[in-house]
Structure 1
């Protein structure tokens, strides 16, 4: 098969495109080597890269930290790595004694000491937003609680997705299929408008206690005989608290601890934010069901259809805006919108 495709002549159009893109790659490589003030980052929720000035990235990152007040500098300047590792080991020992984890599972979840490191903070650009803001990312692949975060996500995410699959977009193809069904069912009219809603700073702005309370309610509602797997609610809440409490990172030669929300980029953060947002969005979902309209969410981006007047739908959106002070939404209503990688 490989030989067949390698020996086959490509079309002139494809060859021209490949040559053009190769030149672009070479140009970007030269630019990054020659300009120390330039950085290249992948963009948020897209398959392209963004080239910008390092100073702009640094300024926007610091502005975000000041604006959200989600991060607190560790004033003593001491690296939190050892304390966080001890907290992880202590919890896993407890879970082994309670038979929630086997010793073998516990050993797999303890990070390797020779690769252990504190997380690092950076931002990825959102060029589809005015002034290209940054989405904060804490790269913590070798942090003490990273494997615990993935473990807890693996327990909770399948349950969450099963419960919410009807109103969760997996990708842009999912959106198109929903719209095709909407049209086929006869609900698309000349009055139909599209709504996109961006939930601003979702991961960093959800309140710690509020998110854990929502998680506890989710557990009680969807557990089986008082457990999810081998975990009781006490085990789930202890591990969730540990993950949030050890959200620390280094930035500009200083150490910080995240005080609200979870680390963007951590596996558990996404399912925790989804569970918190699931409670908030129920009124909108019920409204859309009642009026035979589409509702779907991809992480913190919501898509809806409506045949209501602008005044009528704005009343519903205003209710959503004031339902939770921690959830700040920015709706756009139009006959044509851009959502994920699709223009509708």
Structure 2
């Protein structure tokens, strides 16, 4: 731990230091509350901002750390079958790459970090023409618009990189300097959302200076990099990456090119020579005091996350790599008791897999190849080809082309794909409608197990709601009340059980009862004079 220059050992949490982590947590909480109160009293942050960044003393927890096998390194070295068998026994021996996971969901700065992370991310995206995406299909849609705009040339290069290492190793002082330079470049009037640049820098320092955590019954402090679970880490690292040496990075800021990012992975398009790109990447790396990125692909064909992207003389082709996606999303998640049955509802799983294939594949050949991948995954879980073929037939019946597109301008797969995209638009519209209804209605969700008859459940749900409307529609307290019966699904891996096994004893993570009940004083109008720290 201490040999990495990332973590600083504080002390062992055994007798007579058993309550040391509680004392450190109490000190951090007091510091955060005092800072927020002072900023609020001096009108450096608003009442709403103070409320959003506050601490709940009843639920605040000290961060804790554990390690998992690094599938980014290991996953490329073995075939799928070997991975599937071997990783059930993965440990943290020196010969196996590992990476840290910081659990900080309830940490003392987790009110500040999400607020600042979201704010800085928005400013960065606007300044660099960067697009943030949450799904792989968003990359494909963006590339198709890029092609339609005439930017995809026969010599266009795709490049991808990640900033995994930089996230855990960046210098705090260098990141703060880059952030200050960035904010002065892109914020007018020296403030954003009524916060000055000085206030933002003060709060970022507060987060970085208080990255204490428990590991192996010892207390540590992270002195380089950011917590892996903090929403502030990735936006801050991107700003550091692109504004530590801004002149060198300007070559990547072309509004006609694509710059896409998903968490700590990024994708760019490049319409200069490959040598110029390599020179720019290498020159930039030399100016940083630590490794900044891992280039994962350069060329007219690359893999990015779970999709294969490429073009041939300007003709775009894309495909989902379902085996890689399956490994990372299901098989290797946290590398604990791997060989489980991830397919609770075989028909739902198969339909979702085929929908994803249709969205991601640019042509029928790619779609058929992905079908073989899905069928292979099915066979790993003991399902017959007959079940797969039946599900595929049902999918094609729902989304396939039932009429010929005269005068044969589109293939049957193009029509199928368009039907899927139309279905996605319909789902988004109905989701928004349900969200509007939920604001006006109160729902009671009743779970049931998968072996129950679904038609009977639907009928029973309708009957219950009919009875409610018939007998209680004039009763105001329940006028907007309705019942929804849902299948209870088991997660593919017991994530909560996993975290409990990795979590240190709770007495090392929580405040003492005295500190939990400690009161805070607010003198500014709009707050009561004496309130619990969460306004409990």
What is the aligned partner in structure 2 of residue 69 from structure 1? 5
Offset, 1:76: 6.3
Residue of structure 2 in register with 1:22 after alignment: none
**Partner residue of 2:298?**
333
Assess, with a 3 A threshold, how the Cα gap between structure 1 residues 309 and 275 changes in structure 2: closer, same or farther: closer
Residue 93 of structure 2 corresponds to residue 93 of structure 1: no
1:265 aligns with 2:229: yes
Of residues 113, 118, 121 in structure 1, which corresponds to 2:57? Answer: 113
Q: Please list, as runs of the form range in 1=range in 2, the aligned pairs for 1:244-283 lying within 5 A after superposition.
A: 244-279=208-243, 283=248
* TM-score for the superposition, normalised by structure 2: 0.46
Unaligned runs of 5+ in 1: 1-61
Contact 1:247 1:263 in 2 (8 A): yes
1:152 aligns with 2:96: no
Cα 1:289–1:105 shift into 2, 3 Å: closer
Q: 1:227 to 1:338 in 2, by over 3 A?
A: same
Question: Aligned residue for 1:84?
Answer: 28
Bigger radius of gyration among the two: 2
- Please state if 1:343 is matched with 2:308: yes
Q: Aligned partners of 2:272, 2:183: CA distance in 1, in Å?
A: 36
Encode CA deviations 1:233-255: one digit per residue, 9 max, x unaligned: 22222211111111111111111
CA distance in 1, matches of 2:303, 2:143: 14
Alignment check: 8 A CA contact 2:124 2:130 kept: no
The match for 1:316 is 280
**Residues 1:295 and 1:162: Cα distance change in structure 2 (over 3 Å):** closer
Q: Is the 8 A contact 1:274 1:299 kept in 2?
A: no
TM-score (norm 1): 0.69
| Superposition deviation, residue 163 in structure 1 | 2.5
Select which of 166, 182, 190 maps to 1:218.
182
Contact 2:68–2:101 (8 Å) recurs in 1: yes
Change (3 A) 1:314 1:116: closer
Match of 1:44 in 2: none
User: Residues 129, 89 of structure 1: CA spacing in aligned structure 2 closer, same or farther, 3 A cutoff?
Assistant: same
Specify whether residues 128 and 335 from structure 1 end up closer, same or farther in structure 2 by C-alpha distance, changes over 3 A only: farther
Q: Which residue of 1 aligns with 2:131?
A: 168
The 1:69/1:285 distance shift into structure 2, 3 A limit, reads same
Q: Distance in 2 between matches of 1:183 and 1:239?
A: 42
CA offset digits 1:266-300 (Å, max 9, x no partner): 1222221122123257645525749x754433343
Higher relative CO (Cα under 8 Å, sequence separation at least 6) belongs to 1
Q: Is 232-241 or 95-104 further displaced after alignment?
A: 95-104
Residues of 2 paired with 1:326 and 1:208: CA distance?
12
Partner deviation per Cα, 1:183-219 (whole Å, 9 max, x = no partner) = 3355545555432223341211221011111221222
- Could you tell me which residue of structure 1 aligns to residue 251 of structure 2? 286
Write the distance in 2 (CA, Å) between the matches of 1:312 and 1:239: 39
1:137 is paired with a residue whose SS is strand
> Which residue does 2:384 correspond to in 1?
none
Identify the residue that residue 127 of structure 1 maps to in structure 2. Answer: 71
SS at match of 1:116: coil
The superposition leaves residues 107-142 of structure 1 with CA deviations (integer Å, 9 ceiling, x where unpaired) of 653322222220111245542434684443211122
Change (3 A) 1:252 1:181: same
Report the alpha carbon displacement of residue 309 of structure 1 after superposing the two structures with TM: 5.5
Structure 2 unaligned runs (5+)? 14-19, 77-96, 310-536
Secondary structure of the corresponding residue to residue 91 of structure 1: helix
* TM-aligned CA distance change 1:310 to 1:267, over 3 Å: closer
Task: Give the whole-Å Cα distance in 2 for the aligned partners of 1:108 and 1:293.
Answer: 36
User: What's the Cα RMSD here?
Assistant: 3.0
Q: Structure 1 residues 217 and 312 mapped into 2: Cα distance closer, same or farther (>3 Å)?
A: closer
Aligned mates of 2:161, 2:246 — CA distance in 1: 12
User: C-alpha distance in 2, partners of 1:99/1:224?
Assistant: 19
| 8 Å contact kept, 1:126–1:135 | yes
Q: 1:81 to 1:309 in 2, by over 3 A?
A: same
The CA distance in 2 between the partners of 1:266 and 1:208, in whole Å, is 15
Question: What do residues 298-320 of structure 1 show as CA deviations (whole Å, max 9, x unaligned)?
Answer: 34323234465554443232212
| Alignment-derived partner of residue 297 in structure 1 | 261
The question of 1:136 aligning with 2:136 is answered no
Q: Distance in 2 between matches of 1:215 and 1:260?
A: 16
Change (3 A) 1:76 1:286: same
Q: Is the 8 A contact 2:69 2:99 kept in 1?
A: yes
1:244 & 1:306 partners in 2: Cα distance? 35
Once the two structures are superposed, residues 27-86 of structure 1 have per-residue CA deviations (whole angstroms, 9 ceiling, x without a partner) of xxxxxxxxxxxxxxxxxxxxxxxxxxxxxxxxxxx5xx74x4211111364212111112
